Amino acid sequence: MKRVIPFLWICLLSLSVFSQVPEKMSYQAVIRNGSNALITNAMVGMQLSILQGSPTGTAVFVETQTPTTNGNGLITVEIGTGTVVTGSMASIDWTDGPYYLKTEVDLAGGTNYTLTGTSQLLSVPFALYAKTAGNAPEIDGSVTNEIQTLSISHDTIYLSNGGFVKLPAAYITLSPPDATTLPADSIQSFSAVLNGTVNPNNLLTSVEFEWGVSSGYGNTVIAKQSPLSGITDIAVSAKLTSLTTEDTYHYRIKATNAVNVVYSSDMIFTLTPTTPLLTTANITSVTGTTAVSGGTITYNGGSDITGRGVCWGISASPDLSGDFTTDGSGFGSFTSNLTLLTPGTTYYVRAYATNSSGTGYGDEKTFTTVSLPAATTGSMSDIKGIAASGSGTVTDDGGGTITAQGLCWSTSTSPTISDSITTSFEASLKNLTANTVYYVRAYVTNEAGTAYGNEVSFNSGYEMGTSTQGGLVFYNDGDGHGLVCANADADTSASWGCYGTSIATTSTDFGTGAANTAAIVTKCTASGIAAKLCDDLVVDVYDDWYLPSKAELNLMYINLHTQSLGSFEDDNYWSSSEVNSATVWYQRF
CATH number of the domain where residue 108 is located: 2.60.40
- Direct distance between the N- and C-terminal alpha carbons of the chain, in angstroms, rounded to an integer: 100
For residue 174, the model assigns a pLDDT of 85
Same domain, 36 and 124: yes
Q: Give the pLDDT confidence score for residue 155 in this predicted structure.
A: 55
| Same domain flag for 411 and 473 | no
- Amino acid sitting at position 339: T
Q: What is the pTM of this model?
A: 0.53
pLDDT of residue 214: 93
Concatenated DSSP letters for 21-55?
Answer: ----EEEEEEEE-TTS-B--S-B-EEEEEEEESST
pLDDT value, residue 227: 96
| Rounded Cα gap, residues 92 and 51, in angstroms | 10
Task: Provide the pairing of β-strand 291-299 with 277-280.
Answer: antiparallel
Look at residue 27 in the predicted model and tell me its pLDDT. Answer: 85
Per the structure, the complete domain to which residue 442 belongs is given by 374-459
Give Dmax over CA atoms of the chain in angstroms: 170
Q: Is residue 265 part of a domain?
A: yes
Q: Is 168 inside a domain boundary?
A: no
Is 197 found in the same domain as 292?
Answer: no
Looking at the structure, tell me whether residues 253 and 315 fall in a common domain. no
380 located within any domain? yes
Question: 227 preceded by cis ω (within 30°)?
Answer: yes
306 and 415 in a single domain? The answer is no
Q: What is the mean pLDDT of each run of 10 residues along the chain (589 residues)?
A: 33 32 76 85 94 91 95 90 92 87 92 82 57 53 60 59 59 82 90 96 96 95 96 96 80 95 96 89 95 94 92 97 96 96 96 95 96 96 96 95 97 97 94 97 95 97 95 96 92 87 92 96 91 93 95 96 92 94 93
Residue 548 lies in a domain: yes
SS3 133: helix
| Contact (Cβ atoms closer than 8 angstroms) between residue 577 and residue 516 | yes
